[in-house]
Structure 1
Amino acid sequence: MKVPKNRRTRKWAFLMILLAIVLGAAAAFYWDQYVPTSKHEAPSFDGMTKPIFYQGAMLDKPAQGKEETLKLPFDIVKEQIDPTMIYETSSDSTIITTQDKVLRLKTSQLTGMVNEKPFTLKFPLEKINGSLYLPIQPLEDLYRIELRESEETGAVILLKEGDTLQWGKTAAFPDKPDKTVPMRKEPFIKSPILADLKQSEFVMIWSEEPEWYKVQLANGYMGYISKKQLSKDKTETIPKKELQPSFVPAKPINGKINLTWDQMTTPKNPDTSKFPPMPGLNVVSPTWFHLDDGQGTLKNLADPAYVKWAHDQNIQVWALFSNGFEPKRTTEALSTYDKRMKMIKQLLSYAQLYSLQGINIDFENVSTKDKDNLTQFVREMVPLMHEQGLIVSMDVTPKSNSEMWSLFYDRKALIDSLDYMMIMAYDEFWASSPTAGSVSSLPWVEKNVVKLMKEDQIPASKLILGVPFYTRVWTEETVDGKTKVSSKSVYMETPQKTIKEKNLTPVFLPEAGQNYVEYKDGDKLNKIWLEDEVSMKARLDLVKKYNLAGVASWRRGYETPSIWNLIKTSLDK
Structure 2
Amino acid sequence: MFGGSRTGRSRAPWKLAFLALLCGALLGTYVWIRYVPNFLHEKPDFQGIEKPVFHQGQQLELGAMGKQESLKLALDTVKETIDEALLYESSSDSAIITTKDKVVRLRTSELTAKINEKPFQLRFPMVKSEEGVLYLPMDPLKELYGIELRESGQTGAVILVKPGDEIRWHKTVSWPDKPERTISMRKEPSVKAAIYSDLPQGERVMVWGEEGDWYRIQLTNGYLGYVPRDTLVDDGTEVLPEPKAAAQFEPQKPLTGPIHVTWEHVLTKNPDTSAIGPMPGLDVISPTWFHLQDGEGNLKNLGDAAYANWAHERGYHIWGLFSNGFDPKRTTAALATYDKRMKMIKQLLSYAALYKLQGINIDFENVNLSDKQNLVQFVRELTPLLHEQGLVVSMDVTPRSESPNWSKFYDRKALAQTIDYMMLMAYDEHWDSSPVAGSVASLPWVEKSLLGLLEEDEVPPSKLILGIPFYTRVWTETVKNGKTVVDAKAVFMDMPQRITKEKKLTQTFSKETGQNYIEYKEDGKRNRIWIEDETSVKARVALAQKYKLAGVASWRRGYENPNAWEWIRSTLKP
Cα deviation digits, residues 35-86 of structure 1 (max 9, x gap): 2121212232121100001111111111000111001101111111111111
Q: What are the residue-to-residue correspondences of 1:422-461 with 2, within 5 Å?
A: 422-461=423-462
Counterpart contact for 1:43–1:195, Cα < 8 Å: no
Q: What does residue 565 of structure 2 align with?
A: 564
- 3-state DSSP class of the match of 1:28? helix
- Residue 282 of structure 1 and its aligned partner are, at CA, apart by 1.0
Matched, 1:329 2:340: no
Cα deviation digits, residues 456-477 of structure 1 (max 9, x gap): 1101110000000000000001
Q: What does residue 170 of structure 2 align with?
A: 168
5+ long unaligned stretches in structure 2: none
- 3-state DSSP class of the match of 1:426? coil
- 3-state DSSP class of the match of 2:466? strand
Q: What does residue 339 of structure 2 align with?
A: 338
TM-score, length of structure 2 as denominator length: 0.97
Matched, 1:40 2:41: yes
Q: Which amino acid counterpart does residue 417 of structure 1 have in structure 2?
A: T
RMSD (Å), alpha carbons: 1.5
Q: What does residue 261 of structure 2 align with?
A: 259
- Residue 9 of structure 1 and its aligned partner are, at CA, apart by 5.4
- 3-state DSSP class of the match of 2:385? helix
Cα deviation digits, residues 262-312 of structure 1 (max 9, x gap): 00011x311111111111111000000011111111111111111111111
Q: What are the residue-to-residue correspondences of 1:32-431 with 2, within 5 Å?
A: 32-128=33-129, 129-249=131-251, 254-266=256-268, 268-431=269-432
Distance 1:141 1:253, change over 3 A: closer
For 1:255 and 1:417, how far apart are their aligned partners in 2?
A: 21
Q: What does residue 502 of structure 2 align with?
A: 501
Q: Which amino acid counterpart does residue 222 of structure 1 have in structure 2?
A: L
- Residue 6 of structure 1 and its aligned partner are, at CA, apart by 7.7
For 2:243 and 2:93, how far apart are their aligned partners in 1?
A: 32
For 2:64 and 2:244, how far apart are their aligned partners in 1?
A: 29
Cα deviation digits, residues 429-468 of structure 1 (max 9, x gap): 0000000000000000001101101111101110000000
Counterpart contact for 1:518–1:528, Cα < 8 Å: yes
Counterpart contact for 1:398–1:406, Cα < 8 Å: yes
Say which is worse superposed, 186-195 or 390-399, in terms of deviation: 186-195
Cα deviation digits, residues 201-248 of structure 1 (max 9, x gap): 121111111121111111000111112322444222122234143412
Q: Which amino acid counterpart does residue 408 of structure 1 have in structure 2?
A: F
- 3-state DSSP class of the match of 1:90? coil
Counterpart contact for 1:252–1:282, Cα < 8 Å: no
Counterpart contact for 2:251–2:358, Cα < 8 Å: no
Cα deviation digits, residues 157-211 of structure 1 (max 9, x gap): 1111111112222222222111100001111111111100011212111111112
Counterpart contact for 2:413–2:459, Cα < 8 Å: yes
- 3-state DSSP class of the match of 1:46? helix
TM-score, length of structure 1 as denominator length: 0.97
Cα deviation digits, residues 114-163 of structure 1 (max 9, x gap): 11111111111111021111101111110021111111111011111111
Q: Which amino acid counterpart does residue 224 of structure 2 have in structure 1?
A: M
Counterpart contact for 2:166–2:240, Cα < 8 Å: yes
Q: What are the residue-to-residue correspondences of 1:417-566 with 2, within 5 Å?
A: 417-566=418-567
For 1:110 and 1:229, how far apart are their aligned partners in 2?
A: 49
- 3-state DSSP class of the match of 2:47? coil
For 1:164 and 1:120, how far apart are their aligned partners in 2?
A: 33
Say which is worse superposed, 170-179 or 278-287, in terms of deviation: 170-179
For 2:204 and 2:406, how far apart are their aligned partners in 1?
A: 57
Q: What are the residue-to-residue correspondences of 1:4-43 with 2, within 5 Å?
A: 10-43=11-44
- Residue 314 of structure 1 and its aligned partner are, at CA, apart by 0.5
For 2:144 and 2:390, how far apart are their aligned partners in 1?
A: 21
Q: Which amino acid counterpart does residue 528 of structure 1 have in structure 2?
A: I
- 3-state DSSP class of the match of 1:544? helix
- Residue 257 of structure 1 and its aligned partner are, at CA, apart by 0.9
Cα deviation digits, residues 396-454 of structure 1 (max 9, x gap): 00000001100111111111110000000000000000000000000000011011011
Counterpart contact for 2:542–2:572, Cα < 8 Å: no
- Residue 3 of structure 1 and its aligned partner are, at CA, apart by 8.8
Q: Which amino acid counterpart does residue 277 of structure 1 have in structure 2?
A: P
- 3-state DSSP class of the match of 2:434? coil
Q: Which amino acid counterpart does residue 266 of structure 2 have in structure 1?
A: M
Counterpart contact for 1:368–1:408, Cα < 8 Å: yes
* Identity %, equivalent residues: 59
Counterpart contact for 1:261–1:284, Cα < 8 Å: yes
For 2:285 and 2:533, how far apart are their aligned partners in 1?
A: 21
For 1:468 and 1:356, how far apart are their aligned partners in 2?
A: 25
Q: Which amino acid counterpart does residue 230 of structure 2 have in structure 1?
A: K
For 2:195 and 2:376, how far apart are their aligned partners in 1?
A: 51
Counterpart contact for 2:100–2:246, Cα < 8 Å: no
- Residue 551 of structure 1 and its aligned partner are, at CA, apart by 0.6
- 3-state DSSP class of the match of 2:91? helix
Say which is worse superposed, 34-43 or 346-355, in terms of deviation: 34-43
Counterpart contact for 1:100–1:246, Cα < 8 Å: no
For 1:339 and 1:419, how far apart are their aligned partners in 2?
A: 23
- Residue 24 of structure 1 and its aligned partner are, at CA, apart by 2.1
Q: Which amino acid counterpart does residue 209 of structure 1 have in structure 2?
A: E
- Residue 570 of structure 1 and its aligned partner are, at CA, apart by 1.3
Q: Which amino acid counterpart does residue 158 of structure 2 have in structure 1?
A: V
Distance 1:5 1:199, change over 3 A: farther
- 3-state DSSP class of the match of 1:162? coil
For 1:16 and 1:223, how far apart are their aligned partners in 2?
A: 45
Q: Which amino acid counterpart does residue 515 of structure 1 have in structure 2?
A: N
For 1:302 and 1:470, how far apart are their aligned partners in 2?
A: 25
- 3-state DSSP class of the match of 2:46? coil
For 1:56 and 1:495, how far apart are their aligned partners in 2?
A: 69
For 2:247 and 2:449, how far apart are their aligned partners in 1?
A: 29
